[in-house]
Each structure stands twice: as structure tokens, then as C-alpha cells.
Amino acid sequence: MMDRVSTWRAKGKGGPNHDVNSYEYFIKNDCVSCGYSFPDADGREHIQSLSDFKKFWHDHNGKYNSTPKWNRQGVHFLFDNLKKGDFIWTRKAGQYYVAEVPDSPENLFYFDAGSDATAFDCSAQLKNIHWIKVGAEADVPGSVSVYNFYSSIGRIDVRENLYKINDIQYTATGLFSAVKAGVLSPKDIQKINFNRHDLFSLIRYSDTEDLVALWLFDKFNYIVIPSTNKLSTQKYEFVLLNASKNLNGKYRDSKNIYIQVKNGAIDLKSKDYTSLLKDDRNEVWLVTTSGRIDNLSVGGIMRLCLKNSKVQKSFWGIEELLNFAFNPEKKNIIPDNILFWVLLCNRYMS
């Protein structure tokens, strides 16, 4: 079994107002930082070690923060929680970069009091971080995307400069992302403890929506109305129509099919969506990959419709969607950005 690895996101916004694009400095200088350069503090040029910096931080931080708490700062995670073998992601101009942490933070620590590092708020840094360009959002795991950052207690505060993307160890956002980035070769990865559900942490949120739409097309011949996916609404992601035909080759009665998809541990209540059921020609589909619908089993799909003016419910486990994604007979209708992760998962699944 491989050692555990974690995956982190460095936002790269320095300065007291979080408006300095520190990621520019990261990539150019092979480092990563979480600010706290203390540009006006006397004695900063004498910081030589991580222990020096921690003492300096506690002695001087009150000038910048009225309630300084080391263990609640990104700088704490950078120097105390990262470990050798972890992966860090950052983004510059819409392009994502990944780097493997080559040594312990204590050994990589470097304090640069020079004007350039200070201007980018990157004086306290981990040095020798080799960034590899991966590509745009479609080229990275969904949990690396800016639209899908969650912690164990909910959505991440966007002001945080460094945070763990999720708690999946071993592969899902660490080793697998490194394989795609070229940091590791697939042949270097041993058999790992992986299950199919981890696919949802690899694909993007929008990919999960696409997967649901394709499953509905494959199972019920429902087709998406493209323009509805551009609408801003809290009730549904997009609208589909029934494209199935009867024995005479004519399209069946039209119906509006509303979809709500949540990728993550997000619960849904069917009562919040019954208002979309205007008549018996409408349907609502609710999907959550790791949450509950009406307190049923974790991860599921529910269809709501009206029959004799009463709401009828049908339920499938999320395995139904995974069976579709991992079915080799369906691969020709699975988009490449989803299929990449499906194939890689298949290769290393225990």
C-alpha cells in the first residue's frame, strides 16, 4: 500500500487585502507562500529557519491582526500540515499547475527579505517547488476546480490562501492528478485502495451534470434543451424533453423534465421541488452523489411526478449512475474528460 498523500490548493492571493497575485511569483521562482512577509517589521532579514519565523510571527503578528491565531492561518497549514509527497495546485490566467512537495516543510523553508519577494508577499516560502503546467479546467480533477472546493465542514472560505481540497487519500485528487500532469507515470503506481464512487471527486461539477443527462438519454431517451443550462436558477440545472417515439414512429406527448444535481455530501428535500410539477406532463429529477434525498440512503437519484394530482416518487441508488459511467458498452457516449478518469480508475481499482 502506498503512503498517504494529501492534495492542497494554494490560492496565491497575498497582501493585507488579498489582492496581490502571488501565484505569479510562485511559478516563476519555484516556491509557494501564504503571505505574512511583515514588510515593515525590523529584524525580518535575520530569519533563517522555520522556528525563527514562527517566533517572529507570534511576536509581530498583533500589528497586522488584532486576534492572531497561528493554527487558523494558511501559513500554519503550509508549514505544519504539508508533508513530503503531498501535491499542491494553483492557477494562473485560467491555467492550472501542480507540484509535488519534495521534502518536509522544515527543510524547504526559506525566508527571502528581498524587494521582489516582499512585493509579492512571498517572503516566507517553501522553496524548490517545481510547478508543472497541466492545462485548463477541463484537464484537472473536478475537486481541483474552483467551483468544487469543499472541506470536512462545508464550502471553503474563499479568502483562505491554502486548504486541503478533500480528505480522499491515496489517489483521487493526489496521485491520479499527478499522473495526468505527468508528475508520476501510471506504471509507478502500485495497486491502490480505490472504489468507483471516487470518480465524483475527479470529474468536475459540470461533468456530473453531463453524466446525469447522458444517463437519462440512454435510459429514457430524454434530451437536453441546451439554452436552459444557461439560466440562473436555484431550482434546477437544466430542462430536458422526452424524445422517445411510439410504435407508429411519432413522438410521445411532450413533457418538461427538470434536473437538480449536487456533487458532494449535499442533502436534498423533494418537497422543495414539487412546485415545478405543474401537471402530470412534468417530472423533476434530484441527484446527489454523497448526500441524502429525503433521508434515504447516501447517494441517490429520485424522480418526482404527478399521478392523479398526487406526487409519486421513484428512487435509484447512485450506483445506477456509476454502472452507466463504468459500462464499457456506453463509452462511446461518455465525453473524453469523464472517460479519462473512468479508464484510469478501472486500471487501479482494487
Q: Say if CB 14 and CB 78 are below 8 A apart.
A: no
Residues 280 and 308 in one domain: yes
333 lies in some domain: no
Domain end call among 193, 214, 232: 193
Task: Over range 110-120, report the average pLDDT.
Answer: 93
Bridge partners of residue 313, in order along the sequence: 304
What mean pLDDT is reported for the chain?
A: 79
> Cell 413522438 identifies what position?
251
Strands 87-92 and 7-10: parallel
Give the integer Cα–Cα distance in Å for 88 and 190: 21
Residues 210 and 189 in one domain: no
338 lies in some domain: no
Q: How many domains does the chain have?
A: 2
Residues 188 and 212 in one domain: no
Domain end call among 193, 222, 237: 193
Give the integer Cα–Cα distance in Å for 83 and 215: 40
Residues 40 and 188 in one domain: yes
Residues 180 and 91 in one domain: yes
Task: Over range 141-151, report the average pLDDT.
Answer: 52
Residues 183 and 148 in one domain: yes
Alpha helices in 11-155 (DSSP H): 22-29, 50-60, 74-76, 105-108, 115-119
Residue 189 has pLDDT above 90, yes or no: no
List the single range of 93-102, 104-113, 212-221, 250-259 with lowest mean pLDDT.
250-259
Give the integer Cα–Cα distance in Å for 109 and 33: 10
Residues 213 and 176 in one domain: no
Bridge partners of residue 10, in order along the sequence: 162
Q: What is the C-alpha radius of gyration for the chain, rounded to an integer number of angstroms?
A: 24
50 lies in some domain: yes
- Output the pTM of the full model: 0.60
Residues 169 and 236 in one domain: no
Q: Using 50, 70 and 90 to split pLDDT, how confident is the model at 129? A: very high
Give the integer Cα–Cα distance in Å for 287 and 259: 8
Query: Per-residue DSSP letters for 188-222?
Result: G-------GGGHHHHS-HHHHHHHHHHHHHHHH-E
In order of 6, 8, 14, 28, 56, the CA distances from 127 in angstroms are 19, 16, 17, 12, 19
Quote the pLDDT of residue 241: 80
275 lies in some domain: yes
Q: What confidence tens digit (pLDDT) does each residue in 5-54 have?
A: 677 888 888 877 777 888 999 999 999 998 889 988 889 999 999 999 99
Quote the pLDDT of residue 183: 52
Give the integer Cα–Cα distance in Å for 246 and 250: 6
Residue 192 identity (one-letter amino acid): I
Within a 13 Å sphere around the CA of 269, how many CA atoms are in the beta-carbon half? 3
Residue 182 has pLDDT above 70, yes or no: no
Which three cell numbers, joined as nine digits, stand for 177?
Answer: 492528478
Q: Using 50, 70 and 90 to split pLDDT, how confident is the model at 63? A: low
Residues 22 and 145 in one domain: yes
Residue 330 identity (one-letter amino acid): K
337 lies in some domain: no
Residues 19 and 130 in one domain: yes
Domain end call among 146, 165, 193: 193
Residues 76 and 161 in one domain: yes
Q: Say if CB 335 and CB 207 are below 8 A apart.
A: yes
Quote the pLDDT of residue 151: 38
Alpha helices in the chain (DSSP H): 22-29, 50-60, 74-76, 105-108, 115-119, 175-181, 199-202, 205-220, 319-325, 336-348
Helix 336-348 to helix 205-220 angle, to the nearest 10 degrees? 90
308 lies in some domain: yes
Domain, as residue range, for 264: 205-322
List the single range of 65-69, 114-118, 223-227, 238-242 with lowest mean pLDDT.
65-69
Give the integer Cα–Cα distance in Å for 280 and 291: 28
Q: What is the dihedral of CA 206, 211, 216, 219, to 10 degrees?
A: 180
Angle (nearest 5°) at CA 251 between 223 and 259: 25
Quote the pLDDT of residue 322: 96
Residues 179 and 224 in one domain: no
Q: Above pLDDT 70, what percent of the chain?
A: 75
- If phi > 0 it is left, if psi is from -120 to 50 it is alpha, else beta; for residue 38 that is left
Quote the pLDDT of residue 171: 41
Angle (nearest 5°) at CA 237 between 231 and 238: 75
Residue 340 has pLDDT above 50, yes or no: yes
314 lies in some domain: yes
3-state secondary structure of 239: strand
Quote the pLDDT of residue 9: 85
Strands 31-33 and 300-307: unpaired
Comparison of pLDDT for 242 and 296, the residue scoring more: 296
348 lies in some domain: no
Q: Say if CB 224 and CB 213 are below 8 A apart.
A: yes
